[in-house]
């Protein structure tokens, strides 16, 4: 051994440097250290005869039926209740699978009827206008939302007998903190319609603003709601805005595309490729450590067989158990539901027919052996309370929304349990499942590489 | 190196691996109080190991921690290397093989690893203070549990059959 290697001072400096690089998460150092720890996976396999990975388990029949019903409910709830908005139109239900990396105003969707969709077709959610199809890529469609900076859609604002034409698109800066983000309204020809309902109204005269999309496609969205017109505060150098009821950031999980009725029912259901009931989309996991040693965390360690991707759902019999957080050196860490790093987009099904978007749920610890806490936004709690006002005794079950790579729709997160006092997180019942029955979602294949930590 | 010494190192690696897995089994029941078994055992054996075996024992300790430490690999390596280096330095000054020495060393080592983990959460881009706070709380509990474990069972770990050739350093 050379003398400089024995120098305590040099060793100390080298260790300090290593700690600094580890805290800064330098990619090269991380990879080198993962290589150094690679034998750990082999050592664990050799020493751990406790857990065995088995075949992918078939879903429990009742749960499979519930999951199927929830998926059908998701698809139905994108349609408008207003008959006028349905008349003469053909809808293709779609599942949002991700946001475009670096472009949050574009979502990637999979369609029930892939071949019926065309670029330029409008996208809607119930009676709301969302945007239009901008591109196709790898069997999926990219939808540009109305919040995109360059998006423009012709509209009309009506209040009693008064009517004003305008163009809506992009986001308008809020004039006060409590106003929130609004859609920007351009070329409003009457500023005296504060509070008027704004609906899409594409016409031949105003179609020049579209610059491209076919007018017939665009006009299919006529009558769909954009929001209410909001005049800026006096003295504010801002254009009028349109307040939308939609949660553009976390409330878009499923949507409908208004397609040409002649092209509908062509087939090729790409959305079914993310069916959680398809056993080929799952891979059985072999647990190395039920609870990994990491202070403050609830992480399970499993073997990585090369198909796991960060963000992939880990479930046991269609019950969500966690998500893959990191894969390295032949091992992968699964953040369990109660783990502070766990997050998933979820929906609540109230009773059997009402769906409420919960946005992102985050692990907030364990209450007891049978329940965990999942934190959500105050607005989500408000939506849930509003839904429960009409049916206070209705059972509430929480399911994955499916609007993220690696997580299919309609995996059961758990049943909502009652809580006392001021509630800031949802208490969810967790059914104990043996770790040996866990399986990971591999249905998104290489596309899961696009998973972005939000 | 003699075959017996190699066998001892292999047994040491196996013992640490099993203790790491035992720790993982105990964690759902003990939560934050779960002692860092593999680390306590490694320090107990390293306190009496000869200088020439140290590199191999360090590698075995790293691999054992790699089984259950759910942190980025660089953090596992850096944290463990610091602990072992600290133990090498400290054993020249204190008696780490004795009751008080091994309990204190194990508790401090566990606290250091937990603290580093909490610091890494704070230093990460998303800067999760909730994670850091949870990690900090657990680090204290785990340090206490590890210290007690080392105090009560450290002597037994030093006397595990097959590890004799590794414990020949004069105290």
Closest CA to A417 of A386, A396, A387, A389: A396
User: What is the nearest CA distance from B63 to chain A, expressed in angstroms?
Assistant: 5
Hey, are the CB atoms on A36 and B124 less than 8 Å from each other? no
Spatial separation of the C-alpha atoms in residues A113 and A198, rounded to whole Å: 30
Question: Using CB atoms, which residue from A30, A32, A290 is nearest to B28?
Answer: A290
Spatial separation of the C-alpha atoms in residues B104 and A39, rounded to whole Å: 30
Which residue did the predictor score with more confidence, B83 or A172? B83
B12, B73, B87, B125: best to mutate for the A interface, most A CBs within 10 A: B73
Hey, are the CB atoms on A295 and B25 less than 8 Å from each other? no
- Burial degree of B110 (CB within 10 A; 0-12, 13-18, 19+): buried
Domain ranges of chain A: 38-59+276-454, 75-144+252-268, 153-243
Question: What is the pLDDT of chain B when averaged over all its residues?
Answer: 84
Q: What is the pLDDT of residue A453?
A: 33
Report H helices in A283-439. 378-389
Question: Using CB atoms, which residue from B128, B130, B135 is nearest to A295?
Answer: B135
Per-residue pLDDT tens digits for A43-83: 887 776 655 555 666 667 888 899 999 988 888 888 898 88
pLDDT at A257 over 60: yes
Closest CA to A356 of A247, A437, A216: A247
Spatial separation of the C-alpha atoms in residues A237 and A430, rounded to whole Å: 52
Which residue did the predictor score with more confidence, A435 or A27? A27
Q: What is the pLDDT of residue A452?
A: 43
Spatial separation of the C-alpha atoms in residues A15 and A29, rounded to whole Å: 13
Per-residue pLDDT tens digits for A367-381: 887 888 898 888 888
Question: What is the pLDDT of chain A when averaged over all its residues?
Answer: 82
Residue A284 phi, psi dihedral angles, 5° rounding = -65, 145
Per-residue pLDDT tens digits for B109-119: 999 988 888 88
pLDDT band for position B1 (cuts 50, 70, 90): low
Residues from chain A contacting residue B89 (CB–CB below 8 Å) = 8
User: What is the nearest CA distance from B155 to chain A, expressed in angstroms?
Assistant: 24
Q: Taking each helix axis as running N to C, give the angle between helix B99-123 and helix A8-23, from 0 to 180 degrees, rounded to the nearest 10.
A: 40
Stated pTM of the model: 0.80
Residues from chain A contacting residue B73 (CB–CB below 8 Å) = 30, 33-34, 36-37, 328-329
Hey, are the CB atoms on B21 and A25 less than 8 Å from each other? no
Per-residue pLDDT tens digits for A134-164: 998 888 899 999 999 888 888 888 887 788 8
H/E element holding B155? Answer: helix B129-158
Hey, are the CB atoms on B34 and A293 less than 8 Å from each other? yes
Residues from chain A contacting residue B120 (CB–CB below 8 Å) = 22-23
Read off the pLDDT of each residue in A210-218 and give the average, rounded to a whole number.
Answer: 66
Q: What is the pLDDT of residue A130?
A: 93
DSSP annotation string for A234-278: TT-----EEE-SS-TTT--SEEEEEE-TTTTT----GGGGG-TT-
Per-residue pLDDT tens digits for A341-360: 899 999 999 887 888 888 89
Spatial separation of the C-alpha atoms in residues A424 and A374, rounded to whole Å: 9
Q: Which of A110-114, A412-416, B6-10 has the highest mean pLDDT?
A: A412-416
Three-class SS of residue A415?
A: strand
Hey, are the CB atoms on B118 and A329 less than 8 Å from each other? no
Hey, are the CB atoms on A340 and B70 less than 8 Å from each other? no
Spatial separation of the C-alpha atoms in residues A92 and A176, rounded to whole Å: 38
Q: What is the pLDDT of residue B125?
A: 64
Q: What is the pLDDT of residue A171?
A: 85
Question: Using CB atoms, which residue from B21, B69, B85 is nearest to A15?
Answer: B85
Closest CA to A291 of A325, A333, A261, A236: A333
For the ranges A88-97, B82-91, B129-138, B148-157, the lowest mean pLDDT is seen at B129-138
> Spelled out in words, what is the top-level CATH class assigned to the domain A75-144+252-268?
mainly beta
pLDDT at A446 over 70: no
Question: Using CB atoms, which residue from A37, A48, A299 is nearest to B21?
Answer: A48
A5, A286, A295, A340: best to mutate for the B interface, most B CBs within 10 A: A295
Per-residue pLDDT tens digits for A284-294: 888 888 778 77
A9, A19, A49, A296: best to mutate for the B interface, most B CBs within 10 A: A296
Q: What is the pLDDT of residue A327?
A: 87
User: What is the nearest CA distance from B70 to chain A, expressed in angstroms?
Assistant: 6
């Amino acid at each position: 051994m050379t003398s400089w290697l024995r120098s305590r001072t040099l060793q100390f400096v080298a260790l300090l440097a290593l700690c600094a690089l580890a805290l800064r998460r330098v990619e090269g150092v991380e990879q080198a250290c993962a290589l150094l720890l690679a034998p750990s996976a082999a050592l664990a396999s050799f020493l751990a005869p406790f857990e065995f990975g088995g075949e992918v388990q078939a879903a429990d029949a009742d749960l499979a039926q519930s999951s199927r019903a929830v998926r059908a409910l998701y698809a139905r709830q994108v349609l408008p209740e207003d008959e006028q908005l349905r008349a003469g139109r053909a809808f293709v239900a779609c599942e949002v699978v991700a946001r475009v990396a670096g472009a949050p105003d574009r979502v990637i969707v999979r369609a029930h009827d892939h071949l019926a969709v065309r670029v330029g077709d409008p996208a809607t959610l119930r009676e709301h206008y969302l945007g239009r199809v901008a591109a196709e890529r790898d069997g999926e469609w990219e939808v540009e939302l109305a919040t995109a900076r360059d998006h423009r859609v012709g509209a009309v604002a009506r209040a009693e007998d008064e009517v004003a034409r305008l163009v809506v698109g992009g986001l308008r800066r809020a004039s006060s903190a409590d106003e929130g983000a609004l859609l920007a309204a351009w070329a409003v020809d009457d500023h005296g319609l504060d509070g008027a309902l704004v609906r899409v109204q594409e016409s031949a005269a105003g179609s020049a603003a579209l610059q491209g999309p076919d007018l017939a496609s665009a006009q299919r969205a006529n009558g769909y709601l954009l929001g209410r017109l909001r005049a800026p505060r006096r003295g504010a150098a801002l254009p009028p805005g349109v307040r939308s009821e939609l949660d553009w950031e976390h409330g878009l999980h499923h949507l409908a595309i208004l397609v040409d009725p002649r092209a509908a029912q062509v087939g090729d259901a790409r959305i079914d490729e993310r069916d959680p009931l398809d056993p080929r989309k799952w891979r059985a996991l072999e647990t190395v450590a039920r609870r990994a040693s990491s202070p403050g965390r609830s992480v399970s360690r499993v073997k990585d067989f090369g198909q796991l991707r960060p963000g992939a759902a880990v479930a046991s019999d269609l019950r969500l158990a966690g998500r893959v957080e990191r894969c390295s050196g032949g091992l992968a860490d699964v953040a369990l539901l109660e783990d502070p790093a766990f997050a998933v987009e979820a929906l609540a099904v109230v009773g059997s027919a009402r769906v409420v978007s919960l946005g992102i749920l985050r692990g907030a610890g364990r209450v007891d052996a049978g329940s965990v806490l999942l934190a959500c936004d105050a607005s989500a709690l408000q939506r849930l309370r509003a839904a429960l006002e009409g049916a206070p005794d209705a059972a509430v079950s929480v399911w994955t929304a499916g609007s993220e790579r690696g997580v299919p729709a309609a995996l059961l997160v758990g049943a909502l349990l009652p809580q006392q006092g001021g509630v800031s997180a949802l208490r969810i019942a967790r059914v104990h499942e043996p770790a040996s029955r866990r399986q990971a979602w591999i249905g998104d294949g290489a596309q899961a590489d696009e998973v972005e930590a939000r | 190196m003699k075959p017996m010494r190699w066998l001892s190192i292999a047994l040491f690696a196996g013992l640490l691996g099993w203790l790491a897995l035992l720790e993982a089994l105990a964690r759902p029941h003990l939560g934050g109080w779960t002692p860092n078994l593999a680390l306590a055992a490694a320090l107990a054996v390293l306190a009496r190991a000869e200088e020439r075996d140290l590199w191999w024992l360090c590698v075995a300790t790293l691999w054992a921690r790699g089984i259950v430490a759910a942190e980025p690999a660089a953090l596992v390596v850096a944290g463990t290397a610091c602990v072992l280096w600290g133990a090498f330095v400290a054993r020249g000054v204190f008696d780490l093989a004795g009751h008080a020495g091994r309990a204190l060393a194990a508790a401090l080592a566990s606290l250091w690893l937990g603290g580093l983990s909490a610091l890494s959460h704070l230093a990460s881009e998303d800067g999760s203070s909730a994670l850091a706070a949870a990690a900090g709380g657990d680090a204290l509990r785990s340090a206490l549990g590890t210290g007690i474990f080392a105090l009560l069972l450290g002597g037994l770990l030093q006397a595990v059959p097959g590890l004799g050739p590794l414990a020949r350093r004069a105290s």
